[in-house]
Amino acid sequence: DARVTQTPRHKVTEMGQEVTMRCQPILGHNTVFWYRQTMMQGLELLAYFRNRAPLDDSGMPKDRFSAEMPDATLATLKIQPSEPRDSAVYFCASGLGLAGYHEQFFGPGTRLTVL
C-alpha cells in the first residue's frame, strides 16, 4: 500500500531554531505539494514541485521558509529561524501530475510547535 511518509511526526523547538521537515512521496509520483494547516487559516498551499523543479512557492514566506527536492524520493521544507506563529501541522502530498488527473495523496503531517 503506497503512502506518502513524513518525518518527524512531531517537533517541538524554540524560537530562532532551524526546523527541517522531510517528505517521501509515493514512488512514481512526480508532483509534490507542501501545505500548512492552522485553526485560523485552514489548509494553505505553501509550494509545489513537478519533477523536482519548483513550480509555485507564492504561498511561502520567502524570508524564512525554503523548500527543495534533493532527489525524486525526498522533499524538504526548512524554516530558519522559526517563530511561534509557524506552529502548525505541515502536510506533504504527492500526485501523478498527469493532465486531467489531479488527485493528491497526503502524508500524515508534521505537527510543529515553536515555543
Q: Which residues bind another protein (CB under 8 A)?
A: 31, 33, 42-43, 45, 48, 50, 56, 91, 93, 95, 97, 99-109
In the chain, DSSP assigns E strands to 5-7, 10-13, 19-24, 31-38, 42-50, 53-56, 65-71, 74-79, 88-95, 105-106, 110-114
- Looking at beta carbons only, is 82 or 94 nearer to another protein? 94
Q: How far is the CB of 97 from another protein (least distance, A)?
A: 7
- Looking at beta carbons only, is 25 or 95 nearer to another protein? 95
